[in-house]
């Protein structure tokens, strides 16, 4: 899908004009600030989530990540958020889709391509 729109002019000719791109949200985001561990090959970093959805996570990290980079990450999801009697460890795999700097902190958005619950 592209960001242009087909428009019919008064003379009946089609022309294309650019429309502003809008980010499409696939899932509801929950504002959860929980510790996470990110693994990129041999490199491991601590992070904090800013929000979590079924399809992705926004992290605050100490160093910039590379867009397109595959990552593994672990989250200890609070039991009360999940409706469980105890916290649940979730191991996820995904990829970095966006990076930015906000208030002198790096932020990285990542997809959740796969996940599994870990026995504790």
Cα 86 to Cα 6, 73, 75: the distances in Å are: 53, 20, 14
Query: Is 51 within the bounds of a domain?
Result: yes
10-residue mean pLDDT series, the chain (120 residues): 44 48 62 94 94 94 93 92 88 96 89 89
User: pTM value?
Assistant: 0.73
Query: Is 58 within the bounds of a domain?
Result: yes
Domain that holds residue 99: 25-118
pLDDT at 116: 95
Query: Is 44 within the bounds of a domain?
Result: yes
Query: Is 43 within the bounds of a domain?
Result: yes
pLDDT at 120: 62
The CATH number of residue 105's host domain is: 2.40.10.220
pLDDT at 5: 42
Closest CA to 64 of 89, 25, 33, 38: 38
pLDDT at 112: 96
Please report which helix (H) or strand (E) contains residue 72, including its range.
Answer: strand 70-77
Query: Is 15 within the bounds of a domain?
Result: no
pLDDT at 26: 62
Count of domains in the chain? 1
Query: Is 102 within the bounds of a domain?
Result: yes
């Amino acid at each position: 899908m592209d960001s242009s729109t087909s428009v019919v002019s008064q003379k009946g000719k089609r022309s294309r004009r650019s429309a502003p791109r809008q980010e499409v949200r696939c899932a509801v985001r929950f504002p959860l600030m929980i510790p996470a561990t990110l693994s990129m090959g041999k490199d491991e970093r601590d992070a904090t989530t800013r929000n979590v959805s079924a399809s992705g996570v926004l992290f605050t990290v100490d160093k910039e990540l590379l867009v397109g980079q595959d990552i593994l990450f672990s989250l200890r999801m609070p039991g009360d958020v999940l409706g469980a009697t105890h916290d649940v460890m979730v191991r996820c795999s995904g990829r970095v889709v966006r990076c930015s700097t906000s208030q002198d902190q790096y932020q990285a958005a990542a997809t959740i391509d796969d996940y599994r619950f870990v026995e504790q």
